[in-house]
Each structure stands twice: as C-alpha cells, then as structure tokens.
Amino acid sequence: MARPLDALRDTQREWMINRSRLIAALVGIFALLLILVYRYYSLQITQHDDFLTQSDRNRIRVEVIPPTRGQIVDRKGRVLALNQPTFVVGVVQERSEDLEALVSILRERFALSEREVENFWERSARRRPFESVPIALGLDDTQLAMVAVDLHSLPGVVVDAQLTRHYPFANTLSHVLGYVGRISTADLEALDAERYRGTLHTGKVGLEKRYERLLHGMPGFQHVETNAHGRLLRVLEKEPSQAGRDLQLYLDLDLQRVATEALGDQRGAVVALDPLTGGVLAMVSNPSYDANLFVQGISYVDYAQLRGSLDTPLLNRAVQGQYPPGSTVKPLLGLGALERDLITPETTVRDPGWYRLPGDTRRYRDWTLRVRGGGHAETVDLRLAIAESCDTYFYDLAHRTGIDAMAEMLAPYGLGLPTGIDTTAEQPGILPNTEWKRSQLKQAWYPGETISAGIGQGYMLMTPLQLAQAAMVIANKGTSFVPSLVHRVGDLTVGGVPRAPIAMAEEDWQAVVAGMVDVVHSPQGTAAFISDNITYQMAGKTGTSQVVSIAQDAIYDEDSISERNRNHGLFIAFAPVDKPRIVVAVIAENGGGSSAASPIARRVVDAWLIETEDA
C-alpha cells in the first residue's frame, strides 16, 4: 500500500515550491536588512546633526530668569511696595501627552476662570520651545501640596517659585502707588515680548504703570541640563537678570496716615506739597481700595462691587476728581486783577449783600445775605473780600474783567491743564472762556455765567492737585514746580522741575497773602474757628461749591437736601507764611461747606510742622 502512495507524490514540484518560498523569505530578510542599514545610516550620518540638536533640547534647555521688580519706598526709606515669594504652576507643552486634557484637569483643580485659561493659551502661542507657561498663580500651601503629590501623574506640569508684588499699606496708598496685575492679551500686544519673557505682571495704574520701564528690569537666561523626566540636574551657563530700579518718593508715610485719618469716612481728597520742590508729601483719595486684590487677578464679584459702588473707590479724586473750586479761586482772581491794574489793594466795592448786572433784574446773592441779612460791610476792599469771602466784590470784579481775560489771568497758575504729575489718568479740569463754550457746547457765552465764574462756579472745574499747585504759586510768590511723587531713582533726582514763574510786584503778593492770613487768624475770617491754639501763622482760603442749583429766591437748606446733593467744602492753605514748608488742598465731597474741609487741613499742617519737629 505504501509504494503506490509514494508513487503519487511529485517530489520535484514540492522541492521547487519550497525553494521559491525560501528565496522569497531570503529576499524579504535582505530587503529588511537593507532598509535597516539605510535607516541606521540616515540616523547616524545624514540626520545626525538634526537629531543631536533635538536630543540636546530634551536634555539641555534655556530657562528665563525673570527680573526682580524694583521696590517703592517713602522719603524715609520705608518700603511701600515690595516683592514676596509665591508659587506658580506652569505647563511645558513638549512634555505633555495631552495638553487640552491637562489644562482641563488643572482648570478644575484650581478653579481657574475662563479669562485665566484664555491668558494661558495666549501666552502659549508666544512661548519658546520647552518654555514653561504659567496657568495658576499665587498658590497657597494647601494648593501647593495638592499638586506636588500628583506631580508624577501630570506630565508637563512644573511648579516654580517666583516673587510677586505686595502692598503692606494697601488702602492707605493704593491711589498713589497704583498696582500691578497679570499680563493680559492687550498687554501682550503692547509689551516687548523678549523683555517680558518669564514675567507674569505689569503695572496697570499709578506709579506702577508710570514707571513700569524702570521698575521692571531686564530678564536673564540660564542653560540647564535635565534628566528624562525634566528634572534639573545642573546649570551649564547663566546670565543673571537685571533688577528693576527702586523709587524713592517725596511722600511721607506718617503724614499720609494723618491725612487719611483726618479725612475719616468723608468722601474727598487731600493733597500736601512741599513748596520748595513740588514734591507730594501726601496724597489721599477716599474711599480707597485694597490694591492687593488686583495682583493675582481680582474676582468678578469683588471688581463688580468696586465698579458699581456709588462712592467710586477706584477714582483717584486727587488727580481725577474735577470740582467747581468755589471761593478758593478768589485769591488768584485778585492777583490777576492787581497785575493788570484793574484794581488796587484799596479799591472798594459797595456790598449790600447782593450784586446786579446793569439792566438786569436778577440779584446775585452774597452768602452773607442769608446769614446776616446784608453784606460784609458798607464797602469792601480786597483784603476783607478775601478774608470774609465776599461774593459781591468778586461778582463786580468778574463783570469788569470779562470771562476771556479771567481765563488768561488764571492760566499761568496751571488751571485748565494737567499739572504733569508723574502718575496716570490725570484730568485737566476746565478753565472756560467764550471759545471753549462755543467749541464744546455750541452756545454763546452769557454775562451771568461770568458772574458765576467769578466765585468759582458754573463751568469752571479743577482737581485738588491743581488747587494745591496754585496755592504753591502764592506761597512762593510766583515760583513753583511741577508736582512730583518720585524724588529719586537711584542717584537720579526726578522732582524739582521748575514751572514758568509769575512776575508780580511784591506789594501785590503781600496784599493777597494778608487777606489769606486773615481767613484763619482774623476773628471774622471764614476759617477762624481752626486757629485755636495754633502756634504758627497759616494763610488759607475757604471755598464752597454747589452741586445742585438753587433758585434765585430759594434758601439752601442742607437738612432738606439729599447727602449726595449737598455742597462741596474746599480749603487751600500754606504755612508758615514767612517761610512756607507745606501747601495743602482739601476737598470734602458733599461736606456741606468749607467747615468740613478746613479742620482736615489744620490737622495735616500740624502734623508736618509740629509733630515732625518733635519726632
């Protein structure tokens, strides 16, 4: 049986098939060997330089060393804005397996807002290879521990220690210093990308923004070697960063605190200047806010509360608040009229307690008409008009001068223009004339509006800083300086820049100053009540500005008017009169009158002239 089966087999054919399969297998193996050799050659020879570079990138990377932001100190060297350590979570995209999933995990873990995630993607688009992009800032100990435990399961996540801004006297100095905030999308468009690599914050308002270029500094770089997990092994090369410059202010922290306490809960502002340099000794705006809220990104709830508040705490009233100056403008008008020979110190005006334009039946009342039933005296000269704030005298002076000449008289004192102080968002106020009304309101100027301007009402608006600057001109009898918050940057003096002087006869200055001295030291002066136990001579001027109009025959009744519609109180002053060392301007918003402002100024001047000498 076996032999017939063997006879049926085609051994020749089987051998041919096996040989063909063997040859095909050998050819396939040879081809694979050729491919392997070619690939090996390509990797080791042809693409050696490219892969060596990529290998070094995985092993050696460039890290940015962000600069340390410059500090801000007061005139005595006390730190007002400093840097403190904090932790930042960042992401290195090249080490992340699934970037979007990783971002989602971090967003949930740190409760990141939509804006924070958007900022991360914006910064990611501008990063360098293997550069860490921050996503969560300002971690506390609990958050740091939470991410550190799971760091091994979050490839691409790194935790860095960085310095961040802190304001130890936040509410007291927020309007002066301003604040830094996280770099936004708009900031990325405006800032130098190379200079701000590794930097998370930039100045937003105030001194922090005004001196951003000096405070920021320049970043450094270091080449570091890492292991396969991205952990640092050693630093190969390092170029240190350049720290930002420190700012020393004219401002005195103690005086700032006194001014803040004197203002109390009153909405308003206090500005104190050094008349010898124009340096800002104190600048308070109330209400204020905590600048630290903005550093790591303020919440929507907190920001909505600040923006929506009727008290407008974000408004820096000292440089942005624009108010009718009221009677504080009278000494300036008196000086202008003396310089133009429109009056002399002996010129008198009849004062029945009201003034009437020729051919007009309307009576423009003096404030004494309601209080005394008449005027200040049968006739009033310049000194008495300033001391007792006689409206009738300045109604007549305004009518005889005209609004255009009045504007020319007041302009040299810096009214109607920004002072040039080294901060942000300063407002210019309004110094009206016929051309201003025609261009802004498309209307003609009326004589009655000139009468109102003569006592600082109507369209005329000034900031507290402008009033302080004008008072500095009077204190120095014509010389003044551009107001400055910063005194020195390193060895460079910033402040003390002189303004154009006002040349005027000595007797003219003395005539106006004598009236301002009587405001405080004469029994009939409008601020006589603040002179109790005073040990120096102060020159001042009270002012009251209306918030709402009162009909001609109506009586101003403070108790019947809502608090926010009550008159503003103003006061300007300088002391000592013979050698002025401080100039003060105060606005008590809706305070009812100057009696709300003048005690605040007395407290500030006392602190500077008496308490600092005793210290």
* Least confident among 29-38, 109-118, 179-188: 109-118
Residue 124 has pLDDT above 60, yes or no: yes
Assess whether 467 and 500 both reside in one domain.
yes
**Do the Cβ atoms of 376 and 368 come closer than 8 Å?**
yes
d(CA 517, CA 30) in angstroms, rounded, equals: 111
pLDDT tier at 614, thresholds 50, 70, 90:
low
* Least confident among 194-208, 248-262, 426-440, 549-563: 549-563
Q: Residue 131 sits in which domain range? A: 61-247
Residue 223's φ and ψ, nearest 5 degrees, are: -95, 125
Task: Choose between 373 and 313: higher pLDDT.
Answer: 313
Assess whether 275 and 230 both reside in one domain.
no
Residue 464's nearest CA partner among 273, 266, 204 is 273
96 domain residue, yes or no: yes
Assess whether 242 and 264 both reside in one domain.
no
pLDDT tier at 567, thresholds 50, 70, 90:
very high
At residue 451's C-alpha, the angle toward residues 447 and 454, to 5°, is 135
d(CA 401, CA 109) in angstroms, rounded, equals: 71
280 domain residue, yes or no: yes
357 domain residue, yes or no: yes
Q: Please name the residue that has the structure tokens 């962000």.
A: 66
243 domain residue, yes or no: yes
* 232-239/60-65 β-pairing: unpaired
For 103, which DSSP code? H
- Catalytic pick among 327, 389, 545, 598: 327
For 462, which DSSP code? B
Assess whether 276 and 218 both reside in one domain.
no
333 domain residue, yes or no: yes
* Least confident among 20-29, 54-63, 310-319: 54-63
d(CA 106, CA 124) in angstroms, rounded, equals: 15
Q: What pLDDT digit, counting tens, does each position of 398-456 carry?
A: 999 999 999 999 999 999 999 999 999 999 999 999 999 999 999 999 999 999 999 99
296 domain residue, yes or no: no
* Least confident among 145-154, 203-212, 328-337, 472-481: 145-154
For the chain, the first-to-last Cα distance in angstroms comes to 132
3-state secondary structure of 140: coil
What is the signed CA dihedral for 298, 304, 309, 311, rounded to 10 degrees?
A: 30
- Cα 159 to Cα 145, 235, 448, distances in angstroms: 11, 18, 69
Task: Choose between 199 and 49: higher pLDDT.
Answer: 199
306 domain residue, yes or no: no
- Cα 101 to Cα 93, 158, 274, 327, 503, distances in angstroms: 12, 16, 59, 66, 73
368 sits in which H/E element: helix 368-372
Q: Please name the residue that has the structure tokens 């720290």.
A: 243
Query: What pLDDT sits at residue 615?
Result: 47
CATH of the domain at 94: 3.90.1310.10
Question: According to DSSP H, which parts of 42-127 are helical?
Answer: 48-59, 99-109, 114-124
Query: What pLDDT sits at residue 229?
Result: 55
Domain count, the chain: 3
Residue 149 has pLDDT above 90, yes or no: no
Residue 335 has pLDDT above 70, yes or no: yes
Show which of 218, 247, 276 is a domain's final residue: 247
Q: What pLDDT digit, counting tens, does each position of 223-239 carry?
A: 777 665 556 667 777 78
Radius of gyration of the chain (CA): 37
Assess whether 524 and 482 both reside in one domain.
yes
Residue 568's φ and ψ, nearest 5 degrees, are: -85, 145
Task: Choose between 142 and 558: higher pLDDT.
Answer: 142
d(CA 453, CA 326) in angstroms, rounded, equals: 9
pTM recorded for the entire structure: 0.83
Assess whether 258 and 242 both reside in one domain.
no
Region of 205 (left: φ > 0; alpha: ψ -120 to 50; beta: rest) is beta
Assess whether 434 and 486 both reside in one domain.
yes
Bridge partners of residue 539, in order along the sequence: 574
d(CA 572, CA 471) in angstroms, rounded, equals: 7
Concatenated DSSP letters of 19-41: HHHHHHHHHHHHHHHHHHHHHHH
Query: What pLDDT sits at residue 1?
Result: 47
Assess whether 39 and 65 both reside in one domain.
no
Assess whether 26 and 69 both reside in one domain.
no
72 domain residue, yes or no: yes
Bridge partners of residue 235, in order along the sequence: 224
- Assess whether 327 carries a catalytic annotation: yes
Assess whether 130 and 220 both reside in one domain.
yes
Assess whether 403 and 521 both reside in one domain.
yes
d(CA 350, CA 352) in angstroms, rounded, equals: 7
Show which of 247, 262, 279 is a domain's final residue: 247
CATH of the domain at 352: 3.40.710.10
Assess whether 38 and 116 both reside in one domain.
no
Residue 112's φ and ψ, nearest 5 degrees, are: -75, 145
How many C-beta neighbours within 10 Å does residue 109 have? 15
